[in-house]
Amino acid sequence: MKAMVLESFEKKLSLKDLSRPKPKEKEVLIKVSVCGVCRTDVHIINQELDPVNLPLILGHQIIGTIEKLSNKTSKHKIGERVGVPWLGKSCQSCEFCLEGKENLCDNAEFTGYTKNGGFAEYCTAHEDYIFSIPSFYDDIKAAPLLCAGLIGYRAFKLAKARKKIGLYGFGSSAHLLIQVANHLGYDVYVFTRPKDEKKQKFALSLGAVWAGGSDQMPPSLLDSCIIFAPVGKLYIRALQAIKKGGHVISAGIHMSDIPAFPYSFLWGERSISSVANLTREDGYEFMKLLQDIHIESKVTCFPLNQANEALLAIKQGQIDGSVVLTIQNIRESNHG
């Protein structure tokens, strides 16, 4: 198979010819159709997360079809279209797993991070940690739902907003979450980089009641805020934008340091928290919700062999919406 491989942190991803992976017990072999590209992939390359073993195939927003079942695999069928998310496996025996918090499992495996992911023509996945995708989403539009959609949804649940919610950063995840929030009757306020009128217009086009720069205050105090941008100082801005009793949730896996701020900003039972990974229950709930609301992903596509260009576009904030690698045309593009 063809795969884009991270072999060194000093180099870009390289297109390689590799043997197809063999599914282990209770795993399936998936022929990858598309794979979303996430800011987490950028954080891995930039060594902003815990160290990983190289070589590594990135990618954790995978859509494909099951091509082979391993021993003791019974929950899926050959030819079934499935999605593979960030959480690849958990131990199911630690205190966190037993409490329904498998997202905090110390022995969890993560797709495209601690195990090879979907920047390739084939990947493997545990049968318990993949999702069936609603049929009315095509592969390209479905891919961002597996992380940008799911993590945004988990952050939204933790935010516990009553009516007004703020989103700091308006990239892949936020442009999906605003559609969920609108459907559920929330008023959404969007904060972009200062003077980024393009992103602000994009947010307004998707139903934001107000959009402005992160250096601005909203026209009225909000119930809660979610921070999608990996910028620690936004916590301070968000705390000032929420009412007493409100929550500020960070949806990112990495963030720059949070500067010191007056205790008065936190006073009044305001709180700050992070979102760590996702649970399968999040996935089941989100996929059920997608049956009632058709989320429209705005997607920019790159072929597999242009994964480096896709990652750079995300890093520089050049894309409105989500970025997806198209996998199965790679052989045709190479011959061309």
CATH topology of domain 2-148+278-335: Quinone Oxidoreductase; Chain A, domain 1 (3.90.180)
Hey, which residues does 89 pair with through a beta bridge? Answer: 109
pLDDT value of position 334 = 39
Residue range 181-188: mean pLDDT, rounded: 97
Strand order of the sheet with strand 187-192? 210-213, 187-192, 164-168, 222-227, 242-250, 271-274
**2-148+278-335 and 150-274: identical CATH topology:** no
Cβ(149)–Cβ(259) below 8 Å: no
The pLDDT confidence band at residue 330, using thresholds 50, 70 and 90, is low
Write down the pLDDT at residue 40. Answer: 96
CATH fold for the domain made of 150-274:
Rossmann fold (3.40.50)
Q: Where are the domains of the chain?
A: 2-148+278-335, 150-274
CB 16 within 8 A of CB 2: yes
Q: 333 pLDDT band (50/70/90 cuts)? A: very low
Cα(169)–Cα(191) distance, integer angstroms: 6
Instruction: Supply the pLDDT for residue 329.
Output: 61
pLDDT of residue 17: 97
H or E element that contains 29: strand 27-37
- The tokens describing 69, both together, are 């079942």
